[in-house]
Chains A and B, each alone.
Chain A
Amino acid sequence: MVGDRERTVEGLHRKYAGLVYGLCLRILGARADADDAVQETFLAAFRGLDSFTYGESHLPWLYRIATNACLKAIRTRRRKSESPLDDPGRAPSPERDPVREIHARRALEGLIATLDERGQEILVAHYVAGMDQGQIAAALGISRRAVVKRLTKLRGLANDLWGGGSSRE
């Protein structure tokens, strides 16, 4: 029997899954991994539906869950010593430079390994999800001041790794 919670999550999936997938794909690189992360995201959303307290958009909340699902996948991948590879089945696009993306993703994973969990979330939120400071603060439930402080520390590292080209500030 399908209950209210299942129906709610199904509706969220219908509306947001493609956008959550975009985030997961940017973090993980491979479609299959991104698909799994999307599944993990909506399963976690089902578990945590009662904790949703953000504004009328569920997207910041889902993005945060998705980020953590992807970070977990990266940790698992690292334990298995797998390399982050681009997906050969992924549709090519004129705006994407596969070599640069692979390099950036490896750099991202290298940087993630040096950060605590909050730092990882902020890194992904800013440089991958493309959130501005206010959006990060709202999504993570911390002050904008704390975000600024963290980003200042991250910015030098990230610019070294990405040449300053991955964020839209």
Chain B
Amino acid sequence: MSEHPSRFTLVLKAAGDLRPEEAADVDAHVAICAECRAAAAEIERDRRDYEGRAEAERARLMAALADAPRELRPARGSRRAIGVGIAAVGLAAAAAIAIVVAVPFDRPGRGGAPSVAKPDIAFKGAMAVQIVAKRGAHQFSVRPGDALEAGDALRFAVTVPEAGYIAVLSVEAAGDVSVFYPEEPAPTAAPWPLRIEDRGRRELPGSIILDDARGAETYVVLFSPVPFSREAAERAASAISEGGRELPGGLEGRAFRVRKVAHGGP
């Protein structure tokens, strides 16, 4: 690790919440960086300061919980907490690469252009994904390896085997990850991914308009029957874009690697 870990990463390390390899990277950096060593020492000092009265504070908390009025308590039968098994750490900053807009696409039965009616590629015999691009009046299904141009509008259609959650992300050649779906801002109190209410096919709303960045880019569609975090999605997208087959947290994924080229390029 050549760059400073963020202060929050040092806090995660102190909590023991980093994966072993990440923790080892942080340790290696801290060993040679006085600034980070000082930050880590400060974090530990504050923690020790609190530990001196933690038992008393915990007793105060438990007493408050015992006396908690009814409105503090959630209704019976409410949803259980769900985690997806991914450590919370940062990823490289992502560039802004696309916007979601409404672009009219041809539908089945409205002419000869390819439609988004039939998924192209199934994954693990379960989720299927189709990406349709529109360039001017021309509309075509995107295949892995295709060349896409700035201004192309992409539309995503997914077929899922059961109700669940999906997210669509983009990973650029440099590793920067951006989220296409769900669109921002995500409702912070609700599960982050898009909810799909039932099995079957869905076309995602709006279209992604490609910017003029060039080079390889991978579009990743993720599905899970249970909610997953944005962080988990970003990790999975990075993993799958690098050829990983086993995705963490029970996520299922499908990747399309394309080339973004100049207008009229090869």
A residues engaging B (CB < 8 A)?
Answer: 2, 5-6, 9-10, 13-19, 21-23, 25, 31, 35, 38-39, 42-43, 46-47, 49-57, 59-60, 63, 90-91, 93, 95-96, 118, 129-135, 137-138, 140-146, 148, 168
Contact = CB atoms under 8 A, between A and B. Distances in A.
A53 B192 CA distance: 8
Interface string B185-199: 111110110000000
B93 A135 contact: no
A137 B255 CA distance: 23
B94 A18 contact: no
A21 B50 CA distance: 7
B21 interface: no
B65 A56 contact: no
A54 B187 CA distance: 13
Interface of B: 4, 6-12, 14-15, 17, 35, 38-39, 41-43, 45-51, 53-54, 57-58, 60-62, 64-66, 68, 72-74, 78-94, 96, 177-179, 184-189, 191-192, 227-232, 234
Contact of A143 (B41, B66, B68, B179): B179
A166 to B, nearest CB: 10
28 contacts: A6-B62, A18-B49, A18-B50, A19-B11, A19-B15, A25-B46, A35-B53, A43-B68, A47-B72, A50-B74, A54-B231, A55-B87, A59-B12, A96-B42, A129-B7, A129-B11, A130-B11, A131-B6, A134-B94, A134-B234, A138-B90, A138-B231, A142-B185, A143-B184, A143-B185, A144-B178, A145-B96, A168-B6
User: Dominant SS at the A interface?
Assistant: helix
